[in-house]
């Protein structure tokens, strides 16, 4: 009997994604009655793919928010051509609490709840589906799923050789990404998270020997990027050991290039030790260390069942990372229950005060059915207005054949109406654009020396932008705000295309950074005008403040190092340099190519690529760079 496995992903750049979830199911459940015909890992147009299929008896799909609509359409097309084919699916997208799920998704024959290996094995063995735990059919709703206690008897797809036939179908220079886990579960109960429910509250661990062998395979097979599924990298002592093995493997083979971990909550000692070991080794495997906080509002943290470390502890660790030149980035979510515009602004200021100068992401609050926040009673209690919008598609190229994926988003809350939600997104856009993409970072540092908080400065700037509708900044503000409105109200795609109609959809701060970079003189003029009108800085200093601040942003059009003349007091207040002559430099000396914008505003945005270094010139000034 013929079986097809499906775990399709969008292509982000040149990378191809090797599937994990569906691989587990097959490696654990396979028997000699079934012939594996193909494993679909890309979103090939469904009709085209179905035309290649050979008499499938069973199709098994792994479903999550990023491939659910694609899987639904593929299932429809399979049923049209192969009416007797059975199609089953599992994964986080399956609502374990909805007995009417089939009414909404009739193209499927069965849904598997929770961990699916045992259920899939029973299905392949020919057992009656209505008697198999965790399997929902049209006429059978199973008992609540129970976690498996032992995951070490699940064969490793890596060590079983599952991936080699997939990789063989592609050119040898394909850049491969692996999804990998050393454990399952999370001890925390964050209500906005899929695994915040009690089902996932216990940890189950894969053996260290297996983990090391899998990492060795990644090195030998030149795996570019590893997406680590563990929810708290650094929580366990063994994570340090595994990191050491990743480093040793990269030293040996040059791969894996990147180890993308979700860092442990509130275990800053262990996280720091791991990060320090990696950076001291000379093998850069982390693009940045996450310090995820989600909110600084105590009421909100209580509602979502999360806690943060105290301010002084956070500041201590930000200072340590900065002293060791280890990039960090932080995450907030907007609008969590109980959050207001003022509490969002206050949270950003507390983050800046704690020392986060490198990067910040403020995510929209999206909800999944199986998270505690997905519960209708929870939503009613906290006044959550939940609506369906397009899934975040930034950094993708989408043509007219693209099957849009959707997610549930919080449109408004009891403490933030929809207008406030959009205003919060716009404040986040401007603050991150200015401070964490660099265009106003050093201007803000200068103003802080003169008694103005960074977040207040950006409030003033946003008001100035609204008042100056002919400005470049207003055009960026207006386009971005319209895009947010269209996303929330018209199910438009996230992001903006700025370089051409065939461009990727850039995340909003990256899109605006491209525009500002290419119109740097106009930006300089507008920031000077803003400071003249909205600040108390002496007029004759303002031009030097803006010029020096912008020169600290990496430009593709300058050859570094450069020497600049400025006002001594400006350099002192902005850069802590007591001189009127500054050397500005940047570590990247590569020849600029057509991927420079990707490098600056996408690939390296989390490690502060934009930021130049500044030092005191020890030689007489010989030229002036504008």
CATH number for 35: 3.40.50.280
Report d(CA 21, CA 213) in Å as an integer. 19
Q: Can you name the residues that pair with 328 across neighbouring β-strands?
A: 289
Running DSSP on this structure, what letter comes out for residue 233?
B
Report d(CA 43, CA 49) in Å as an integer. 9
Please report the pLDDT score of residue 624 as a whole number.
37
Residue at 376 is within a domain: no
C-alpha 590 chain-centroid distance: 27
Nearest to 93 by CA among 124, 118, 135, 61: 61
Residue at 72 is within a domain: yes
Report d(CA 31, CA 479) in Å as an integer. 55
Is residue 348 a contact partner of residue 312, using CB atoms and an 8 Å limit? Answer: no
Please report the pLDDT score of residue 619 as a whole number.
60
Is residue 372 a contact partner of residue 191, using CB atoms and an 8 Å limit? Answer: yes
Is residue 11 a contact partner of residue 42, using CB atoms and an 8 Å limit? Answer: yes
Residue at 232 is within a domain: no
Running DSSP on this structure, what letter comes out for residue 181?
-
Give the model confidence (pLDDT) of 143-192 as tens digits: 999 999 999 999 999 999 999 999 999 999 999 999 999 999 999 999 99
Residue at 97 is within a domain: yes
Please report the pLDDT score of residue 384 as a whole number.
98
Residue at 399 is within a domain: no
Residue at 255 is within a domain: no
- pTM of the predicted structure, to 2 decimals: 0.94
Residue numbers of the chain with a pLDDT score lower than 70: 13, 619-626
Nearest to 40 by CA among 65, 87, 8: 8
Residue at 64 is within a domain: yes
Q: Where are the alpha helices (DSSP H) in 176-303?
A: 208-220, 237-253, 268-281, 298-303
From the number of C-beta atoms within 10 Å of its C-beta (0-12, 13-18, 19+), residue 281 rates as middle
Q: Which string of b and e fits 163-194 if b means at least 16 CB within 10 Å?
A: beebeeeeeeeeebbbbbbbbbbbebbbbbbb
Q: Can you name the residues that pair with 18 across neighbouring β-strands?
A: 178
Q: How far is CA 353 from CA 291, 311, 314, 347, 442, in A?
A: 14, 9, 10, 10, 15
Show Cβ contacts of residue 168 under 8 Å, excluding neighbours closer than 6 positions: none
| Angle made by CA atoms 133, 143, 72, in degrees to the nearest 5 | 70
Domain count, the chain: 1
Nearest to 372 by CA among 187, 144, 192, 145: 192
Report d(CA 395, CA 511) in Å as an integer. 10
Q: How far is CA 3 from CA 60, 87, 230, in A?
A: 8, 10, 30
**Strands, DSSP E only, in 149-256?**
175-180, 183-184, 204-205, 223-228
Residue at 336 is within a domain: no
Report d(CA 591, CA 124) in Å as an integer. 55
The domain of 52 spans 2-136
């Amino acid at each position: 009997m013929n079986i097809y496995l499906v775990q399709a992903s969008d292509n982000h750049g040149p990378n191809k994604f090797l599937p994990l979830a569906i691989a587990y199911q097959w490696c654990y459940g396979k028997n000699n009655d079934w012939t594996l015909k193909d494993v679909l890992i890309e979103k090939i147009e469904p009709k085209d793919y179905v035309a290649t299929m050979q008499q499938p008896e069973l199709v098994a799909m792994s479903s999550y928010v990023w491939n659910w609509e694609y899987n639904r359409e593929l299932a429809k097309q399979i049923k049209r051509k192969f009416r007797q084919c059975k199609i089953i699916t599992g994964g986080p997208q399956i609502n374990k609490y909805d007995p009417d799920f089939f009414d909404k998704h009739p193209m499927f024959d069965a849904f598997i709840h929770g961990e699916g290996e045992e259920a899939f094995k029973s299905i392949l063995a020919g057992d009656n589906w209505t008697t198999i735990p965790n399997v929902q059919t049209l006429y059978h709703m199973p008992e609540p799923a129970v976690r498996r206690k032992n995951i070490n008897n699940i064969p490793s797809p890596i060590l079983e050789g599952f991936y080699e036939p997939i990789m063989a179908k592609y050119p040898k220079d394909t850049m491969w990404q692996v999804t990998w886990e050393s454990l399952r579960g999370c001890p925390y109960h964050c209500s906005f998270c899929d695994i915040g429910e009690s089902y996932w509250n216990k940890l189950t661990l894969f053996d260290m020997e297996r983990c090391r062998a899998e990492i060795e395979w990644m090195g030998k097979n030149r795996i570019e990027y590893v997406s680590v599924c563990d929810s708290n990298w650094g929580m366990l002592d063994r994570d340090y050991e595994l990191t050491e093995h990743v480093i040793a493997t990269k030293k040996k083979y040059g791969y894996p290039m990147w180890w993308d971990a979700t860092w442990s909550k509130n275990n800053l000692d262990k996280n720091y030790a791991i990060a320090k070991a990696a950076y001291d080794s000379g093998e850069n495997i982390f693009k940045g260390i996450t310090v995820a906080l989600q909110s600084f509002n105590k009421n909100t943290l209580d509602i979502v069942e999360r806690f943060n470390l105290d301010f002084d502890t956070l500041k201590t660790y930000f200072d340590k990372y900065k002293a060791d030149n280890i990039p960090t980035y932080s995450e907030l979510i907007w609008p969590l229950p109980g959050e207001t515009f003022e509490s969002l602004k206050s949270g950003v200021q507390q983050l800046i005060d704690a020392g986060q100068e490198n990067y910040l992401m403020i995510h929209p609050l999206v909800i999944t059915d199986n998270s505690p926040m997905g519960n209708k009673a929870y939503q009613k209690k906290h006044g959550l207005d939940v609506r369906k919008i397009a899934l975040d598609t930034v950094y993708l190229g989408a043509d007219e054949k693209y099957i849009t994926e959707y997610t549930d988003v919080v449109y408004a809350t009891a403490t933030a109406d929809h207008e406030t939600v959009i205003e919060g997104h716009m404040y986040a856009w401007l603050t991150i654009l200015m401070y964490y993409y660099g265009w106003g970072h050093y201007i803000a540092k200068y103003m802080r020396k003169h008694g103005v908080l960074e977040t207040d400065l950006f409030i003033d700037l946003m008001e100035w932008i609204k008042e100056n509708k002919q400005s470049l900044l207003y055009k960026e503000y207006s386009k971005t705000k319209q895009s947010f409105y269209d996303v929330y109200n018209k199910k438009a795609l996230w992001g903006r295309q700025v370089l051409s109609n065939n461009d990727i959809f850039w995340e909003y701060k990256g899109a605006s950074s491209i525009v500002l970079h290419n119109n740097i003189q106009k930006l300089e003029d507008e920031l000077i005008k803003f400071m003249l009108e909205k600040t108390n800085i002496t007029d004759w200093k303002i031009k030097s403040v803006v010029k020096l601040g912008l020169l600290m942003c990496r430009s593709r059009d300058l050859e570094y190092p450069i020497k600049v003349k400025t006002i001594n007091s400006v350099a002192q207040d902005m850069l802590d340099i007591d001189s009127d002559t500054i050397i500005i430099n940047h570590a990247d000396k590569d020849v600029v190519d057509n991927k420079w914008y990707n490098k600056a505003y996408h690939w390296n945005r989390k490690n502060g690529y934009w930021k130049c270094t500044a030092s005191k010139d020890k030689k007489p000034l010989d030229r002036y760079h504008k």
